[in-house]
Chains A and B, each alone.
Chain A
């Protein structure tokens, strides 16, 4: 008797998860006020009060993962790039604070008589 109930719960949960995953990216709230309005190169255009921005939830038009910027459109068609640090999104990778070992200083006679040959672009 228990098995069909568990199966049903799992089915509902999976569907819900799928629904959330397929949900479009949205801004749930503005964390900073005034907020930084940027261009696509993360250059500051202006600081604007959040009351002058579309009310959340706001659909995100594009997401620049390399620079951590999102693009939104105002009601009059203006395109604005926002810093993800200043907004709360409905989706996103949650990163917890990992525990790293504190740097260990090298012994006094430690030597490194070489420099690296690879650069950032070599491995891409």
Chain B
């Protein structure tokens, strides 16, 4: 064989290989995440799993957490305005702290002092000083200064503003603890907790939401508009159908927050039964105070609830830490750069699909086209199921964010469908239509022949 022939054959082989794996060139596109398409389908995949698992989220920590919410209804009832005066805030803090919570986190940011002669910040600092035996956590503002204000020296600073964590909840940022992390460390100081191998840089929390309300919530507020408790398969089916047909169906969501919630105005109740109830809900509990005011909304997006006040994110992240300890849900390990195990598994599934699609187990090129389509569809369906199972394994066993099963399933089905359509078109263009025409021509020719014979 001449050198020319050898080079020619090598080139031919290379071209055949490129033809076989041409769609593998999509891999870098998947990894580069152009226009955030991969991230969007990643988030969608995680949200579906989060929603389904919310029905089965363990409720053990739910009874240890109480949220006190100042909203427009509370302001109306208290005949107050926002921001609340220091006097009103001091009264509210005092009422809460009088019930002796285990700790208090206030989700109110004190950026500028707006003291007046009659309304001094001193009222707040005096209150914090008076209850200094109860750990009180206050957010440390990033502007105008990062120094702790001297008025709040009896509180502990935590961060509530962060960046660079995508949709995850960081435990430590800029050498400060998040409210969930700070409260978790406090909890671990008096309770047995799993060992923290890497305390300096703990992994972010992929917050897992719960959707089943605490039974005691109905003794405090009207919950007639909330989703009733359910763990049934039909609720999951309902969720999935609503998510698939979200354009036409009303999306399934739990409109009520997961944690036990007291409206701030309710704390004014002073009859003995109310005090007894508040003692039950606040004493020795981790209390989160937050606000949700029209015109100054602090809201975050929960995949299970929709837009909820930001304080619930801190409460849920803390709940995750109490429930799972250091095995909380997290982004998977990064291998290099921003590429993590999830990306690797996504790519492996993609390579599997592309190779098996044309693997020898598949019928030959000459096989019936219908059998080949069936093979591709079956492969796509099997891989989709495998990805879903891998996602569940990641979520339930490893507590990692699930892989991009939704995006890949859609991609595989699209490729299969594309193949199905292109084969159908090929069949029509190159086989069926010429046949029809040739039949017509034959019939015309036959007619002409018959006519000529008759002539």
Residues of A within 8 A of B (CB): 36, 38, 41-44, 66-68, 83, 85-86, 92-108, 110, 112, 114-116, 118-124
Contact = CB atoms under 8 A, between A and B. Distances in A.
A107 B225 CA distance: 14
A41 B123 contact: yes
Given A96-B271, A99-B221, A100-B265, A108 B296 contact: no
Q: Which 7 interchain pairs have the tightest Cβ spacing? A: A116-B295, A106-B307, A43-B126, A44-B130, A97-B274, A97-B269, A102-B221
Contact of B122 (A41, A102, A112, A118): A41
Contact of B94 (A85, A93, A107): A85
A77 B165 CA distance: 61
Contacts, number: 139
B123 A102 contact: no
B301 A108 contact: yes
Contacts of A95: 268-271, 274
Interface string B276-300: 0100000000000000111111010
A96 B274 contact: yes
A100 B85 CA distance: 23
Contacts of B95: 85
A124 B123 CA distance: 20
Contacts of A123: 81
Interface stretch (B155-163, B200-208, B255-263, B425-433): B255-263
Interface stretch (B69-77, B327-335, B413-421): B69-77
A103 B261 contact: yes
A68 B78 CA distance: 14
Given A97-B269, A116-B294, A106 B221 contact: no
A112 B293 CA distance: 11
Contacts of B305: 105
Contacts of A38: 126, 130
Contacts of A66: 87
B307 A110 contact: yes
Interface residues of B, number: 63
Contact of B271 (A41, A97, A122): A97
A107 B307 contact: yes
Contacts of A103: 69, 71, 256-257, 261, 292, 308-309
B352 interface: no
A108 B307 contact: yes
A97 B273 contact: yes
Contacts of B90: 42, 67
Interface of B: 69, 71, 73, 77, 80-85, 87, 90-91, 94-95, 98, 116, 120, 122-123, 126-127, 129-130, 217, 220-226, 251, 253-257, 261, 263, 265-266, 268-271, 273-274, 277, 292-297, 299, 301-302, 305-309
A92 B115 CA distance: 29
Given A44-B129, A103-B69, A104-B255, A94 B306 contact: no
A98 B269 contact: yes
A112 to B, nearest CB: 5
Contacts of A119: 81, 83
A107 B77 contact: no
Given A101-B225, A102-B261, A110-B307, A43 B130 contact: yes
Nearest to B253: A105
Given A100-B73, A105-B306, 17 more contacts: A36-B130, A41-B126, A42-B94, A44-B130, A67-B90, A86-B98, A92-B270, A97-B277, A99-B221, A101-B225, A102-B257, A104-B255, A107-B307, A108-B253, A108-B307, A112-B294, A116-B294
Given A43-B129, A107-B306, A94 B270 contact: yes
Contacts of A124: 81
A122 B81 CA distance: 9
A102 B223 contact: yes
A46 to B, nearest CB: 11
Contacts of B120: 41
A105 B273 contact: no
Contact of A42 (B127, B220, B225, B299): B127
Contacts of A122: 81
9 contacts: A41-B122, A42-B94, A44-B129, A98-B266, A99-B222, A102-B220, A108-B301, A120-B85, A122-B81
Given A36-B130, A83-B94, A104 B256 contact: yes
Nearest to A107: B306
